[in-house]
Amino acid sequence: MSQFNINSVCTEYSTGIRVQGQVFDATTNETLPLANVYVDVDTTIGTAADMDGNFSIQVPKGTTLVVSFTGYHPFKFMAEEGFTEVYLQTDDQLDTVVIHGQNKKKNYNWL
């Protein structure tokens, strides 16, 4: 039975580098609020950008980060200390989603 040492994991990430940045639409240059920023090999470690597209994450040096947002191609980059501007390209190849529903009329008699 193997043991998991949470202290070693916390130490590894707390002694890493702080990556800060902002996420933009590559065409319009508008910020992308709540974009996802996470470690490529471990999607449980990550953060979300704020409403202005700003993010901050602490990871070990040499980590590959992924920035993703619905409707855009994910972008991978090597984490470097400092500020990074990320420009995401739209994904024009998204499949169309069709949702079919039914209207059900219900009568209520409260008397």
pLDDT digits (tens, 9 = 90+) for 30-84: 999 999 999 998 778 999 999 999 999 999 999 999 999 999 999 999 999 999 9
pLDDT value for 67: 98
Of residues 68 and 1, the one with the higher pLDDT is 68
Question: Among residues 74, 104, 107, which one has the least CA distance to residue 89?
Answer: 74
Of residues 105 and 6, the one with the higher pLDDT is 105
Q: Quick one: pLDDT band at residue 111, thresholds 50, 70, 90?
A: low
HSE on the CB side for 5, CA within 13 Å? 4
pTM of the shown model: 0.71
Q: Quick one: pLDDT band at residue 109, thresholds 50, 70, 90?
A: confident
CATH number for the 6-88 domain, one of 1.10.10.10, 3.20.20.140, 2.60.40.1120, 3.40.50.970?
2.60.40.1120
* 59 beta partners: 17
DSSP string, 31-97: B-TT-EEEETTEEEEEEE--TTSEEEEEE-TT-EEEEE-TTB--EEEE--SEEEEEEEPB-TTPPP-
> How many residues in the chain?
111
Does residue 10 have a pLDDT over 70?
no
Q: Name the average pLDDT for the chain.
A: 84
Domain extent listing, the chain: 6-88
